[in-house]
Amino acid sequence: AQKVTQAQTEISVVEKEDVTLDCVYETRDTTYYLFWYKQPPSGELVFLIRRNSFDEQNEISGRYSWNFQKSTSSFNFTITASQVVDSAVYFCALFRGSTLGRLYFGRGTQLTVWP
Amino acid sequence: DVKVTQSSRYLVKRTGEKVFLECVQDMDHENMFWYRQDPGLGLRLIYFSYDVKMKEKGDIPEGYSVSREKKERFSLILESASTNQTSMYLCASSPAGLSQETQYFGPGTRLLVL
């Protein structure tokens, strides 16, 4: 069963627009971690953020921000004032505390930012 | 910085060939992983390993095998390549213990099987 859902397969925006990428997860564990990875056209997955299940504080890093809501099992990612360099595939992932080592990935959202 | 390297960025093979994809990490990580990435399907776990000579099946192990003879190296083997194994293959590693949840990825190998 799919444990991480990224309902948006593709999003296109024009530069300087704000964009939010949605992620909904499913787990019965009380301890877990959520991640966002970025995959630019070069192919390598770049780690962006890790959040544990006990920390629901939103986080901001430059133009990036993350909204973690346990009540809705969501971990959404917003890019403010998007730039062409933000064009990439973005993956949300779940690490369940009851498992050893493995991540469960969503299917990814292809973000294209047009100049 | 963690460095995960993969032996090839692009690879073209013929149906029926035996294919080896190599992955090396330089951070003394215990855990290593092989994923396959296909459009619309995201990353799917093929095999993973928690220690030398240990391996565990992931979600799609059929048609693949792995080898971990040394801690830093994790090989993915396609015993008899088929066209449906044309894909992007990504290797990752993570430490054991408290930080095991964060995986570090290599650049990927794009495999084309003709």
At residue B70, does pLDDT exceed 90? Answer: yes
**Residues A80-110 pLDDT 10s:** 999 999 999 999 999 876 566 678 999 999 9
Q: Which residue of B has its CA nearest to A95?
A: B101
* Mean pLDDT, chain A, integer: 91
What's the length of chain B?
114
Count of C-beta atoms within a 10 Å radius of residue B9: 12
What confidence tier does A42 reach under pLDDT thresholds 50, 70, 90? Answer: confident
Interface test with B, best of A10, A23, A31, A45 (most B CBs within 10 A): A45
Closest approach of chain B CAs to the CA of A115, in angstroms? 25
At residue A17, does pLDDT exceed 90? Answer: yes
- Mean pLDDT over residues B68-97, rounded? 94
Whole-number Cα distances in Å, B95 to A102, B23, B26, B49, B103: 12, 16, 11, 11, 8
At residue A1, does pLDDT exceed 60? Answer: no
Task: Identify the pLDDT of residue A103.
Answer: 87
Chain A residue numbers with beta carbons less than 8 Å from the beta carbon of B46 are none
Q: Of B44, B100, B35, B27, nearest to A33 (Cα)?
A: B100
Q: Of A40, A10, A11, A35, nearest to A23 (Cα)?
A: A35
Q: Of A63, A64, A67, nearest to A55 (Cα)?
A: A67
What's the length of chain A?
115
At residue A2, does pLDDT exceed 60? Answer: no
Chain B residue numbers with beta carbons less than 8 Å from the beta carbon of A106 are 42
E strand segments, chain A: 4-5, 10-14, 19-21, 24-25, 32-39, 46-52, 59-61, 64-69, 74-79, 88-96, 103-105, 109-114
Kindly report the backbone phi and psi dihedral angles of residue A56, in degrees, each rounded to the nearest multiple of 5, phi listed first: -95, 10
Residues 30-69 of A with CB under 8 A from B: 33, 35, 37, 42-47, 50
Q: How far apart are CA A39 and CA A54, in angstroms?
A: 27
What confidence tier does B38 reach under pLDDT thresholds 50, 70, 90? Answer: very high
Query: What region does B97 belong to: left with phi over 0, alpha with psi -120 to 50, or beta?
Result: left
Interface test with A, best of B10, B30, B33, B43 (most A CBs within 10 A): B43
What confidence tier does B96 reach under pLDDT thresholds 50, 70, 90? Answer: confident
What single letter denotes the amino acid at residue A31? T
Contact A106, A86 (CB under 8 A): no
Task: Identify the pLDDT of residue A98.
Answer: 59
Quick check: B108 and A43 CB within 8 A?
A: yes
- Mean pLDDT over residues B2-30, rounded? 93
Three-state DSSP string of A40-61: CCCCCCEEEEEEECCCCCCEEE
Task: Identify the pLDDT of residue B95.
Answer: 87
Q: How far apart are CA A53 and CA A98, in angstroms?
A: 13
Task: Identify the pLDDT of residue A6.
Answer: 95
What single letter denotes the amino acid at residue B34? W
What confidence tier does B12 reach under pLDDT thresholds 50, 70, 90? Answer: very high
Site of tokens 């990224």: A6
